[in-house]
Every structure is written in structure tokens, then in C-alpha cells.
Structure 1
Amino acid sequence: MTIQTKEDYHEPSKWTAHLELIAAVLAGILILTAWLLGKDGSQSISITLYIVAFLIGGFAKAKEGIEETIADRQLNVEMLMVFAAIGSAVIGYWAEGAILIFIFAISGALETYTLNKSHKEISALMELQPEEAWLIQDDGSTVSVATSSLSVGSKILVKPGERVPVDGIILQGTTSIDMSAINGESVPVTKGMEDELFAGTVNISGAIQMEMTKPSSETLFQKIITLVQNAQSEKSPSQQFIEKFEGTYVKLVIFTVLVMMFLPHFLFGWDWTTTFYRAIVLLVVASPCALVASIMPATLAAVSNGAKRGILFKGGVHLEHLGALKAIAFDKTGTLTTGKPVVTDFIVREDAATSETLALLASIEAQSNHPLALAIVNYASEQGITKRVNPEIEDVPGYGIRAMLDSEEILVGNPRFVGREVSEEFHDYLLQQLSDEGKTVVFMKDAKGILAVIALKDTLRPEAVQAIKDLKQLGIQSIMLTGDNEKTAKTIAKEAGLDRYVAECLPEKKVVELKGLLSEYGEVGMVGDGINDAPALATATSGIAMGEGTDVALETADVVLMQNDLTRISYAIKVSKKMQRIVKQNVFFSVAVIAVLIISNFMQVVDLPLGVIGHEGSTILVILNGLRLLNRVQSSRRE
């Protein structure tokens, strides 16, 4: 992957829409002036002004149409409009042809505006991407260099108020980091030695030294930019169908217009002027401008809507799929839960002091980097307990820790490691209550027997229950696929309000289960964050990854929740459903307008001016209807 810089990325200029709009307005003024002069009898000056209005108002669209025709080797909607305007002028309808160009220019400016809005998030991201960094040289001095010139292992100084230029770890210093560019969280996070930093985040307080751990092209920030770019360029199945249909339809219109120029004269006895006039009207009203504009503006607006709220769609196809989901499967650890166990119960033997026992336990666990050990140390800190001793330890992988203190052996770990000598008091409590609650139990044993029992549990994300409720209100079933045991899975499923769960799922079993769900429901989503979730994410109709998940999960998923907020799933589905409704409205409306105008033309009840207004007006309306997706989707329970 090549790193994208502001120089590499060429977004539609904001001035393009302004220039197109200015050209359209100027053309409108010329048309009005020409019409007034024509009423006074100044025909030659009037026609000259109409020609100037043609050139000014129609230049942008004519240029676009000619370039696309040459590139694709087939006619398009823009060329139909050019032919219609020229045809109107040929038969003496200068005003009608000019009005056609004027309204077509207005709709073109509106389309450019829509495209600019859809690229706004990319522009904002580009501005957040630092282009220079302070490289720390071998002699300790610093020099400003281009970020793109840095390599993995480079040591960098980040001053207060500056953006972190690359992904890496802190080597020296402590500071507060504004992570909002990455996860949308406005509250700064304290970072110290060995903590990970991401490019694009802001160093708020202290000067820090960091080491670059990833190439600039592979930073999380760059991946976000790439995701949004791909989403804007990838077309939905509906859009692809419309574009294929457009080429065939344009050829059909051209053929029909050519037939219309001759057949009615012989078949219905129309004079040649009427026959040619009606053929030109048909060329105008039958053009599929509104139909072509029914989908892309709405899709781009929906992608922008999601990006503003921390939801990255990887393309229109994934937007369409979300709205069709009937069920969603969730991974547990790191998805429904925080992935960080916390101590829920700490019970000591009757002859032991709680604070002293906890201090000893924390002293032992502080020398391990196991997640459960870290949770116990954090718990001790929260209780105001500090380490008092420094025992020698031996880490026994898969079982626990063996510690030696004053020639006394202390074991901390699971029952297989510490033995089964559990008092009746502990036995009843552990096996009946703690185990049933799905908690992980750690035993601490000294020379007298079991000294303490520690229960830990991976807690639900704060928003998990609400997220499941929101999905139920949308009629979507929720299923948990987890590698945990039956009791833990049952407890978490009950707390979250899930419809069902499957325990002891290895990665390959998750795929099997997901295929079963696909057979049962048809359209199924999968939400995960880890490497083990990647196969299931790829198998699902829509793979949804947590933003803080692994690189593999981010690359495999179709949708990314950058703020790790599960309630965003229901919002994304609402955006998808609203987009589908708007697209259907646009397609039905545009087809209906074309049909009515074509029939009216054959019945000779619609003239060229009304045909122009009806055709181009419908195009503008469908674009404006699609732009409604830029607004926040209301949290109506009927969405």
C-alpha cells in the first residue's frame, strides 16, 4: 500500500462546483437578455446571446460527455443533452435549447457539490496527517524531516501540541494524548513508557520520545484514509446495474429518435417540422439523467454520514447488505465485553488479614504479564494496597505462579495447580455461585491450605445491552459465538439480552456456525475484533470490525466501528435502510417522469420547454433527495 499525502490525493476542487454554478447563472442571465431582445425584434443579437449561453453553460457537461464517450467508446447521457440542445437550435427553438443547457448546468453543479461533500471527510483526514517529524539523531540533536522519509526504528521527538507523525511506542516521557482522530473519544488518555501511539493523534502536555514501529504506509491512520477512499470509489450493485443499463438505454433512445424523425410523417401525416420537433422533445424527455443520478449521490452521502459518526463503510455494496440483515453474530471477548477481566470477588481464610493477603498476592502477580495477573494488581491498587514484598517467582504457563517468600512456598493458580484442598466454606461458594456466574476463579495457597479465592470476570461493554435492544427493535436476531465455556457464555448471553449463543467455538467452528446461520436467516452479519474472527468476518454477509481490533480484522471486515461503540451497528443499519428507501423513491420517480413525458410527447400535449423543465427538474429533485442522507438519521424505532 502506498501512503496517501495531500499532494497525492486529488479531490474535486470546491471551486469546480462554484465555477459550474457561476457559468449556469451567467448562462441564465444571457438567456433572459436574449429572450427580451427577441421580443423587441433584435433576432440576430438574440441568437448570438443564445449561442454564447450554449457555450458558457454547456461547456463543462459537453467536455465531460465527450471525454467519457471517447474513453468508454459509447454514448452517454451528457451527449444526449448536447444533441437535444443542438437539435432544438437547428429547428429554431433557441430559447428552449438554451434553457435545457441552463438547467442541465444547474444539475451538474449540484452533482459536483454532492461529490465535494462526500470527499469532505478525506480532506479533513488529510489535514490531520503530519507531513514532517522531529528525527532524533545519533548525537541526540533533532532535525525536521519529511514523515515519508522515516523508517521503522527511527526515534522521534513529539513536542506538546504537535500531532504524532507515525505509529510507535513511547521510549521516554509521559503525556496526555487526544485520540479523537482515531476513535472519536474526546477525553485525552494518559500515555507513558512502552505505551502505543497512533499517527494523527495529538500530544497535549509533555514532550515525549518515541520509536517508529510501522511504516508510514501501514499506520492505522493511513488505513482509515484508505478505507474511506475505497468506500467512495466502490460502486454498489444497483449503481453498477444502472451504469450498464445506461449504455444500452442511450443507444435505444438514439435509435428511437432517428425512427421518430421519419415514421410519424408517413404513419400519422405529421408535417416535417412537427415530426422533427417531436423527435427532439423525445430526445430530451427520454434521457435517463434522473435515473442515473438516483443512486450515486445517495450512496456517497450515506458513506459520508457514517464517516462523520465513526462508521467506515468499505463501499456501497456493503451499505446495501447491511439493510438486509436478519441476524447478527457477535464474538464475545473484546466485542461484547471489554476484553479486560476485573476482580469481582476476593475472599480470604478466616485466620488471615484481607489487606495483608491482597498485598502479598499483588506482589506476586506484579511480576507476571498475564491478563488475570494485571487485573489483580489493578484491583489491589484500587483498594489502596501497595506492594510490600518482593518474592521470587516461577511462572508455570497454563497453570499459575509458584512463589517463594521466607522459605515458604505460595501457589497462585487454578485448582489443578494448587490442589483440591478447599475448605467447605470455599467449596460451596466457588462451585455453586462463582462458577454459575461464569467467573474465572484463581486460588492462592500457603502451607496451611487455601489462603484466598479470587474471582474475575470479563465485563460487558457499557453499551452492549442497549445495542442488543436496538437490534431487536429493528427485528434482528442476536447470537454470540464464543470460545469460552458453557457457563461463561450463558452468563454473558443472559446479561447482554442475546437471543442465543454457541459456546466453545474455535475459529473453524465459528465459520461452520455462521454458515448454519446463513442457511437459516439468509443475510447474517458478524461482529468481531480478533485474528480468530477474521474467517467468520469474511464468511458473513456483512463483516463488522471493532476499530481497536487487529489489523487482520480491520482489513477483512466490510464495516469498521472506529469508536468501538456497538450502538453504531443499529445506526449503520438505519442509514442503509434509509438509503435503500431513498434509492427506490428516486428510481420510481425518475422512471415515472420519463414514462409520463414520453407518452405526453406522442400525444402532443407537452412542448419542448415543459419537457426540459420536467426532465431536468426531476434530475435535480432526485439529487436533492439523495442529499438528505447527509443529515443524521433519526433514531425512530420504525427505521
Structure 2
Amino acid sequence: MAEHTCQQDHSHGNNHRHAHGHLSDIGFIIGVLCFITAIFVPYENMKTIMYLATIILAGYHVIGEGITDTFTQTKINHRFTPNVHLLMTAAMIGSVLIGHYNEGALLILIFAGAHFLEEYAEGQSRREITNLLKINPTEARLIDATGTIKKIAADQVKKGDHLQVLPGDQVAADGVIISGSSDINESSINGESIPREKSVGEEVFGSTLNGSGNFTMEVTKDSADSVFAKIIMLATEAQANQSPTETTIKKIEPIYVKTVFLLVPLFIVSAPFLLGWDWSTSFYRGMVMMIAASPCALAASAVPVSLSALSNLAKRGILFKGSTFLTHFAKIKAIAFDKTGTLTEGKPIVTDVVYGDQADQAAIDAVITAMEKQANHPLAEAMIAHFDRKELSQQTLKVTNQAGIGLVAKKAEQHYRLGKLSEDLLIAVPLKTAIKQMEAEGKTIVLFSINNSVEAVIGLMDQPNPQAAAIIERMKQQGIQTVMITGDRQAAGENIGALLQVDQTIANVMPANKAQIVQSLQKDYGLTAMVGDGINDAPALVQADIGFAMGEGSDAAIDVADAVIMKNDLTRVDYAYRIAKKTDKVIWQNICFSMLIVAILVVLNLIGKMNIGLGVIAHEGSTLLVLMNGLRLLRKLPE
């Protein structure tokens, strides 16, 4: 059961969770019946007995927590460390001592009821993160050396094992498909509910759900090192790592309670002299003051909000390592993006082809296709995608890759070359002009020549991520400085930067220097976020105030970043930023509202317009309103 929101949570590792169980529930229900009975019973003695029964049956766990937790925490901290339960217990005892049995019973009844509701509300905010544990794989179908299949516990799976995965099975570990194919739901990893088709050679992740196919896989990681295991570890960290606001509230809560315990007796003693009250009125008003000044709503102002936000993000494949990083993200002044694979697709395409005046374009395309189909360089896929067509005649060429030159092939008396610019090539003026234009635009240039005469100039370029321009614009609208960092040449970087309209493009950057650039941005602008792939950007992600790793669940991303998107989807960066901003706004709404209610109740008590019953209703009502306001963060934000 979730932790009571008004309760201490100390750094000593003693998180006091109170599983009240069925006995408390039954006791509370009987207590409610006793209170209702007391209202209608005509005899005063019977009324008193019913009210006392209400206090004992409905409130014994409140009283017990007030006394035992205060004793335990006082012993641990070596100083008096009371909690709100003790405040309520003291107010109840005071009411009984002056004969207000009905109000003492009402106080305990409403406080105990609110206690259950608060635990339920906070439990809702933890649920998405905690539910990760429920989808942890429990068993696997191991194929042993003899080919026999047997079921074993998922935590016994080791790297190198072969597993059979049948339709509807949960994938037990990270691995690679070695036979078969299927559609796999990977929502537990990347938040994407649409199943992905997977076949031989493709990676699969533990905890994902197999669809209608069956396949055999080889395990590539021990169960403790799987992506899902690291997600659980990350989610656990998220619940423990609190924002500065949450930590401050936790620290001041016991101080606040002790102050109330000190001021209430002083108020009771001084009121007859300062306000002219009799001692009975003064004592009664002191009990009301104790309730009115209780910090329960303040204690519930931040933690449920942050947990709701983290749960919302986790459900959509955006994992933060704690609310402190969410707080930082809401206050960033600059955001730096790695270019390749983040702001761009990471896969170059052919953007320009300029042929010589007398060139046979179809024949050239056929030769380029034949040569590239035998190549293994990074541009081969892009070249084949552009030049390969059904109507081209299929050619067979013997191709070699010559260092410093490129791909070369020979057919009859013709020597073909596909590579970079060199001095021995003959280039017509129109093609030279095309080369200069492409160089100015930062494109990668490949020349196709026949017998050293260039017949075609090919320009390739990595294309912007379709989501990138919109995300950059959204950040700029928030007054955030946008920066693109790339190892590409200045011209190539500036061309992409201009397309995306980033504020600043920094090119020719070695991976080792990215952290220095982030440090410079922090000095110039303040809190800085870094968005990268989590591998070669690791130093920059660590240096940033909030390191945002994008990747399909890569180990490096999870290890080094403060937040991880389990899918390459830039829109989730924007979604996380909007959640972060709303979280900060709701927390301060709650803090201001809770303190305003305390002030109003105290003033009404001083002018005699407040009693214990109204005080408890207003106090617990404000706490529940604060909780409900925080639970709004569980809802998906509109696009």
C-alpha cells in the first residue's frame, strides 16, 4: 500500500508503509456505524460510549502510527520527530478531555477516511511504474544441446542459450532471432502499442509479447543485463530520487509539526489574557488550531504530482531517473541536439544526380547499381535505392574497392570508377559547377567516371527527421536556445541547421569535445539539456543538467542519461518538456493552495467562526483536492 502523504520519509531508508489490511477496513466501517448510531441514540451515556467506540475502532491505526512512528523516528534521528498523526491524536484527546466526544470522534473518523483515500490516490500515481514489475518475464522455453525443449525460470537464462518462443509467449530475454518470424508487441520497452514484424537477424527484447508467429532466438544478454531489467532499475531510481521541492517539504514537515506543538500550548495559555476568552474556550480553540495548522495538504503537494508525471511518461516510453531531473528539464534555458540520428534520419539519400552532356543515363544507372550491389560502404544502400530500377538491364561486373579511390570495375575496354574527387579525373565545366554547388550545400559527393572521364556527379545528404523542425520551433517559442552539434563539415551542418532553423550550429566537433560545448552553453545560458543517442554522446549527456538519450533501448543510453526515450521519436522530447512544465506549475498551485487554506482556517478560528468538525472537513478536504490536482498529471496531454 502506498505511503501516507503526510508522513515522514527519511533518508535513512525507513519508508513507513502502512498496510492496514482488512481488519482496519472493517474497524473503520464499524466505527462509521457507531458514529451514526450515536447521532440517533437519545441517551447521553450511550452516545458517549458510541463516540468512544468510533474513536477506537476507526482510529486505532491513526493513533498507533502517531505514537509508534514518532517514537521510532525520534530514536533514529536522536531528536523529537513527530508526524501529523500525532497532531490529530493530540487534538482528539484534547476534545475528549473537555467533553466534546462527538467532535473528537468526527475528527478521527474523517482523518482515518481521508488517510485511506490519500493512500489510494498516491497508489494510483505509482501504478504505471510499479506495474513494470508485473510484466517481468517469469519463464522461458530452453532448447538444450540435444534439441529437447524444457521450461525454466526466466532469471536462469544465460547469454548464448537458445530459446523457443511460441505464439502468445512473453520473450524471456534480450536476443536475436535465428529462425522463424513473428509480430512482437514492444510496448513494455518503447511505449509503442503497434506490433513490429521481426525476422531472422533482428533483435528482440525481454518482456515483449510475441504475436501469432513462432521463432527461435539466441540470448545475447544475461537476464540481469537485459534492457527491461535496466528499465526496472531506472524506474526504481525514479521513485527514490526526489526533486529539491519535494526534499524541502520532507525536511520542513517535522519542524512544522514541532512548531505547532510548541505554539498551541502558548496559544492556550495566552488567549485568556490577550483575547479575553475563558479557559475552556481557549483550550477548545487550541485544539482547532492544532487541526487547522496541520501540514497534511502541504506534504501532499509535490510527491503525488511528481509520481503521476513520471508514471504518465513511463507509460509512453519516456523514463526519467527521478523527479529532480524532471524539475531541471522544466527550467532549461538551452537545449543541444546531436545531429545524426537525432535531428536527422541517420541514413543519407541521393539528393542530386548531374549527368554529362553526352552521357547514356540508363546505362550509367545500370553500372552504378551493379557496382554498389557488391559494395559494403555506408552509402551503398542509398545509391542502390536511387539507381536500381526494374527496367535496367542486369549487369555482372567484377568490382574491387581500392583504398583512396573507391569502387573500380572493368568491362571490355571501359574502366569504371565510383568514388571521390581526384586530380587524374577529367571533368567538364558544367559538372565542375555542379560539384561546387553541392560542396557549398555540404553534401557528400560521389563521382562516376568511365576511362577517367567523369560522366555523373552524385550528391548525397542525411535528411532531417520529419519531426525535428516542429520540435525546434516549439522549443524556441518557449525562449529556449536551440543548438545543433555535429561532427560534419561546417557547410553540411549549416545546411541542416538552416533547414531546421536552429539558433546555433556547431560543426566539426569531435565526440570528446561535445561535453566542452555543453559546458560552454551552461555558462552562457544556464540550465542546459542535451539530446543524443547515448553512445558517442555519453560525455555530453553526463555534462548536461539533463541528459536525454534517444535510442531503441540501448544499454549505453540507459546507463549514462538522466532520461531515456525508448524509441527514436523526437515528439516525446517535446511531450516530456510539456509534462515537466505542467508538473512544476501544479506543484506550486498545490503549495500556495494548501498554505492559503491553513491561513484561512487559523483566522476563522481566531474570530470564533471555526469548530473541530469544520476544521477537520476543511483540512482533509484541502488535502484531497491537492491530491486530485496532482493526479491530473496521469492523463495524457493533448497534442
Do they fold alike, i.e. is TM over 0.5? yes
Whether 1:300 aligns to 2:304 is: no
Whether 1:533 aligns to 2:534 is: no
Whether 1:52 aligns to 2:53 is: yes
- The secondary structure found in structure 2 opposite 1:371 is coil
Deviation track 1:386-408 (CA, whole Å, cap 9, x = no partner) reads: 97436253463x76445566797
Contact 1:545 1:560 in 2 (8 A): yes
- Structure 1: how far apart are the matches of 2:534 and 2:428? 39
1:303 to 1:601, Cα distance in 2 relative to 1, 3 A: same
Contact 1:331 1:480 in 2 (8 A): yes
Contact 1:293 1:619 in 2 (8 A): yes
- Offset at residue 488 of structure 1 (A): 1.0
Aligned to 1:415: 421
Mapping for residues 473-552 of structure 1, pairs under 5 Å: 473-548=477-552, 550-552=554-556
Query: 34, 38, 56: which is aligned to 1:34?
Result: 38
Amino acid at match of 1:307: A
Contact 2:129 2:311 in 1 (8 A): no
- Structure 2: how far apart are the matches of 1:623 and 1:386? 70
- The secondary structure found in structure 2 opposite 1:262 is helix
- Offset at residue 367 of structure 1 (A): 4.1
Worse overlay, 282-291 or 304-313: 304-313
- Offset at residue 331 of structure 1 (A): 0.8
Aligned to 1:178: 185
- Structure 1: how far apart are the matches of 2:387 and 2:182? 24
Deviation track 1:374-429 (CA, whole Å, cap 9, x = no partner) reads: 33234455767797436253463x7644556679764433225x854333232211
Aligned to 2:435: 430
Worse overlay, 171-180 or 567-576: 171-180
Aligned to 1:6: none
Deviation track 1:238-291 (CA, whole Å, cap 9, x = no partner) reads: 011011101111111111123334343566564332232222222211111111
Mapping for residues 265-284 of structure 1, pairs under 5 Å: 265=272, 270-284=277-291
Mapping for residues 125-136 of structure 1, pairs under 5 Å: 125-136=132-143
- Offset at residue 520 of structure 1 (A): 2.3
- The secondary structure found in structure 1 opposite 2:440 is coil
Whether 1:88 aligns to 2:89 is: no
- Offset at residue 461 of structure 1 (A): 1.3
Whether 1:195 aligns to 2:202 is: yes
- Offset at residue 436 of structure 1 (A): 3.0
- Structure 1: how far apart are the matches of 2:303 and 2:331? 19
Whether 1:332 aligns to 2:339 is: yes
Contact 1:159 1:203 in 2 (8 A): yes
- The secondary structure found in structure 1 opposite 2:118 is helix
- Offset at residue 65 of structure 1 (A): 3.9
1:457 to 1:185, Cα distance in 2 relative to 1, 3 A: farther
Contact 2:169 2:210 in 1 (8 A): yes
Contact 2:20 2:61 in 1 (8 A): no
- The secondary structure found in structure 2 opposite 1:244 is helix
1:185 to 1:342, Cα distance in 2 relative to 1, 3 A: farther
Contact 1:489 1:502 in 2 (8 A): yes
**Structure 2: runs of 5+ lacking an equivalent:** 1-14, 75-80
Query: 222, 227, 242: which is aligned to 1:220?
Result: 227
- Offset at residue 327 of structure 1 (A): 2.2
Contact 2:128 2:312 in 1 (8 A): no
Normalised TM-score (structure 1): 0.89
Worse overlay, 438-447 or 528-537: 438-447
Contact 2:356 2:428 in 1 (8 A): no
Query: 302, 325, 330: which is aligned to 1:318?
Result: 325
Contact 1:17 1:112 in 2 (8 A): no
1:187 to 1:456, Cα distance in 2 relative to 1, 3 A: farther
Mapping for residues 435-454 of structure 1, pairs under 5 Å: 435-454=439-458
Mapping for residues 75-154 of structure 1, pairs under 5 Å: 75-154=82-161
- The secondary structure found in structure 1 opposite 2:379 is helix
1:379 to 1:183, Cα distance in 2 relative to 1, 3 A: farther
- The secondary structure found in structure 2 opposite 1:119 is helix
1:72 to 1:12, Cα distance in 2 relative to 1, 3 A: closer
Amino acid at match of 1:338: E
- Structure 2: how far apart are the matches of 1:587 and 1:634? 25
Normalised TM-score (structure 2): 0.89
Aligned to 1:8: none
Whether 1:608 aligns to 2:615 is: no
Aligned to 1:563: 567
- Offset at residue 163 of structure 1 (A): 2.7
- Structure 1: how far apart are the matches of 2:371 and 2:499? 33
1:521 to 1:153, Cα distance in 2 relative to 1, 3 A: same
Amino acid at match of 1:103: I
Amino acid at match of 1:201: T
- Structure 2: how far apart are the matches of 1:58 and 1:587? 28
Query: 583, 588, 591: which is aligned to 1:587?
Result: 591
- The secondary structure found in structure 1 opposite 2:463 is strand
Worse overlay, 282-291 or 540-549: 540-549
1:375 to 1:179, Cα distance in 2 relative to 1, 3 A: farther
**RMSD over equivalenced CA pairs, Å:** 3.0
Contact 1:514 1:539 in 2 (8 A): yes
- Offset at residue 482 of structure 1 (A): 1.2
- Structure 2: how far apart are the matches of 1:362 and 1:61? 78
- The secondary structure found in structure 2 opposite 1:230 is helix
Deviation track 1:420-469 (CA, whole Å, cap 9, x = no partner) reads: 4333232211221x223332112234434334433222111121111122
